[in-house]
Amino acid sequence: MENFSGASFWRISSPIWTLSLVLVVAVCEASEYEYLSWNGGHSYGKAQQCIDIPEELRLCHNVGYQQMLLPNLLEHESMAEIKQQAGSWVPLVHKACHPGTQVFLCSLFAPVCMDRPVFPCRWLCEAVRDGCTPIMESFGFPWPEMLTCSKFPVGDVCIAMNVTSTSESPISGPSPVCPPCDNEQSIDAVLEHMCASEFAIKTKIKEVKKENADRKVILQKRKKIVKLGNFNKNDLKKLVLILKNGADCPCQQLDNLGTNYLIMGRKVGKQYLLTGIHKWDKSGKFRKALKKLKSHKCPAFEAVF
């Protein structure tokens, strides 16, 4: 997917959770030898060093520690590569699909400085994966192979989390609002949704139908192109979008068919997924967001997924 000037797949709707790292020492069958052999396959071209987490590494703002190991636990050797890859995950943290998302990701992208590498616990990976995969799938992104949870340690010393919350249970289940509809009229929200999209148009909705677990969104013929990407105008003539896993989740925009919307999407397989829908607003804030599309640099999602 090429870089787009625009918005990404998830809105900045809630403050980042107050998280702190705890090292979990579990009494189980995993021995020191087993842990080290699991980790021993990694070889780095550079000696590991402790450096300050840079301000531009937005994914790990306020994660609970100030310094990180470089190269990291995903074998990224340069800070430029880490920033590019980590930027793809910032919208997911903002979606708050699980309270441990930031700690899990930062333990890999910006690992805490210790006398040996310490990986996230497998249960933390599984909890984040189960909580966030439904949202990722709504935008056509699978859980990536590099984060396969079976790779992470079951016991020994591993990274867990401590969440300031009234509930000890992880967040689970679908988002109360369909993820592509869960947005606000802000520049960041529009840009984030656009970055996860391959095209964007201004149009009205003709009809909405339920189709199994999805919702089919049929657009009116008249469309104004905002971003075309690799598509041509013929691709958009009979465009039908799919709101993935959206049969039952609320989407206020799809209840107002007479309104103009900025509608974004991307092709996944043979389907065109709806990745963002914003009310077309004539306010200065909305026009400013559209203008910023021309210069905004999106993270390279295809490098991660």
pLDDT for the residue numbered 46 = 66
Is the distance from CB of 304 to CB of 82 less than 8 angstroms?
no
Q: For residue 2, what pLDDT is reported?
A: 32
Kindly report the average pLDDT of the chain as a whole number.
Answer: 76
The residues spanned by each domain of the chain are: 19-163, 179-294
Report the CATH architecture of 19-163. Orthogonal Bundle (1.10)
Reduced to 3 states, what is the DSSP secondary structure of residue 278? strand
Which residue did the predictor score with more confidence, 270 or 233? 270
Per-residue pLDDT, 186:
64
Same fold, 19-163 and 179-294: no
Please tell me the predicted confidence (pLDDT) of residue 155. Answer: 74
Backbone angles phi, psi at 234, to 5 degrees: -65, -30
Task: Dump pLDDT digits (tens) for 86-141.
Answer: 988 988 888 888 999 999 999 999 999 988 889 999 999 999 999 999 888 888 88
Residue 183: Cβ within 10 Å count: 24
| Banded model confidence at residue 172, pLDDT cuts 50, 70, 90 | very low
The pLDDT of residue 54 is above 80: yes
Q: What is the pLDDT of residue 181?
A: 86
Instruction: Check whether 299 has a pLDDT greater than 70.
Output: no
Residue 302 tokens, joined: 């295809």
- The CATH T-level fold of domain 179-294 is OB fold (Dihydrolipoamide Acetyltransferase, E2P) (2.40.50)
Higher pLDDT, 251 or 168: 251
Asked if residue 213 lies in contact with residue 108, where contact means CB atoms within 8 angstroms, the answer is no
First-residue to last-residue Cα distance in the chain: 11
Residue 231 vs residue 184, higher pLDDT: 231
Percent of the chain with pLDDT strictly greater than 70: 74
Predicted pLDDT at 301: 56
The beta-carbon contacts of 250-255 under 8 Å, at least 24 apart in sequence, are: 250/176, 250/177, 250/178, 250/181, 251/177, 251/178, 251/180, 251/181, 251/215, 251/277, 252/181, 253/181, 253/277, 253/278, 253/279, 254/181, 254/205, 254/208, 254/215, 254/217
pTM (global) more than 0.75? no
Higher pLDDT, 152 or 230: 152
Tens digit of pLDDT for each residue in 265-293? 988 888 999 988 988 877 776 777 777 77
